[in-house]
Amino acid sequence: MSTSAEHRTDVVVVGAGQAGLSAAHHLARLGVDHVVLDANDAPGGAWQHRWRTLSMHDVHGVASLPGLTAPDADPATPAREAVPAYFGDYEDRFDLRVLRPVRVSRVEDADGLLRVGTDRGAWTAPAVVNATGTWERPFVPHYPGLERFAGRQVHTHDYDGPDALAGLDVVVVGGGASAVQILGELAPVARTTWVTRRPPVWRGPGDFDADAGRSAVALVEERVRLGLPPQSVVSVTGLALRPQEERARLLGAYDRHAMFASVEPHAVRWADGTTRPADVIVWATGFRPSVGHLAPLRLREPSGGIRLVAREDAHTPTTAARDHRVQLVGYGPSASTIGANRAGRVAALAARRTVEASREAAA
């Protein structure tokens, strides 16, 4: 495909993870001409990049995509194999038109339509569904002295299991589920120190029911309705230890320390002068939304986020407040697997209305 080729369709879906595939499925059912552009070489979204030792026994669950129940995978199967296999089967089963690898560089206005520029040509359409997620934007905070650290720094994005870190002094930074899982693997083979900005909120087996889940999603939804930078749903649900992390707990891996103040070549230092040796710092500090290609549309609010609104009778906000031609899924409240499915349907319906309005205006 030529890098200068120009294409025309009704809706461009950017990204083929859970949210993108859900949107594509509903667009197909609605009879809307569309194309899915995916930057990856193969199906699976971010799942294909998860660390090697993360098995299906470790993940918190994968919601079924619309129309095809997720298979019961062997708990020992690596998640980066099982989930991509399911996504690939889904694409084949529903004959979804996914083009890959195609990397989107910018989305801009083109005489009332949206032009999606890529490394394999450009697509022009009345509507875009952005489903790029966060995997391409790992976040690492800066601390004084970090540039002088002589050890290794590994973000969750690049972490690939405990083997290479065995026998080392490892500082794990971050208060989310990934930090808990990584500590669970590392503590039996390495000397770990866990640091977070805020004390973790632990929940027991019966502390998180359906009502609590809805309340957590509502908190995240409120942020995107206000145009604030989104938080993950996991960040407001609390943390839980699973049986496979019991050994790490007994070893003291989850005895949390407050955030250090600075980094030295071979240690981290707190404000009171206390230090801990560090051969490796693992940054389980999350990701930021991959929305840089949308910058030409000026969707961001002064507060830093992209404000989303719900169109007509929809309850899930997916429409960019500053440009109703753009739908965002896998962003904020729809960043969970269940939320992504629901948002995919809402975004597809909103995109169809945009396409219909565009045709009426051109008639």
What does the pLDDT profile of the chain (363 residues) look like in tens digits? 556 789 999 999 999 999 999 999 999 999 999 999 999 999 999 999 999 999 999 887 788 999 999 999 899 999 999 999 999 999 999 999 999 999 999 999 999 999 999 999 999 999 999 999 999 999 999 999 999 999 999 999 999 999 999 999 999 999 999 999 999 999 999 999 999 999 998 876 554 455 555 555 565 666 666 676 666 655 556 788 888 899 999 999 999 999 999 999 999 999 999 999 999 999 999 999 999 999 999 999 998 899 999 876 667 899 999 999 999 998 876 666 667 888 999 999 999 999 999 999 987
pLDDT at res. 303: 87
What SS3 class is residue 213? Answer: helix
Cis bond before residue 101 (omega within 30° of 0) = yes
For 225-243, give one letter per residue: b (16+ CB within 10 A) or e: bebbebbbbbbbbbeebee
pLDDT at res. 31: 97
The CATH architecture that domain 146-202+239-283 belongs to is: 3-Layer(bba) Sandwich (3.50)
Alpha helices in the chain (DSSP H): 18-29, 79-93, 177-186, 210-225, 246-250, 337-362
CA pair distance 12, 331, nearest whole angstrom: 17
Domain 6-136+287-362 carries which CATH code? 3.50.50.60
Residues facing residue 276 across a β-bridge: 268
Nearest-5° Cα angle at 39, 36 to 42:
85
pLDDT at res. 208: 47
Which ranges in the chain are annotated with CATH 3.50.50.60? 6-136+287-362, 146-202+239-283
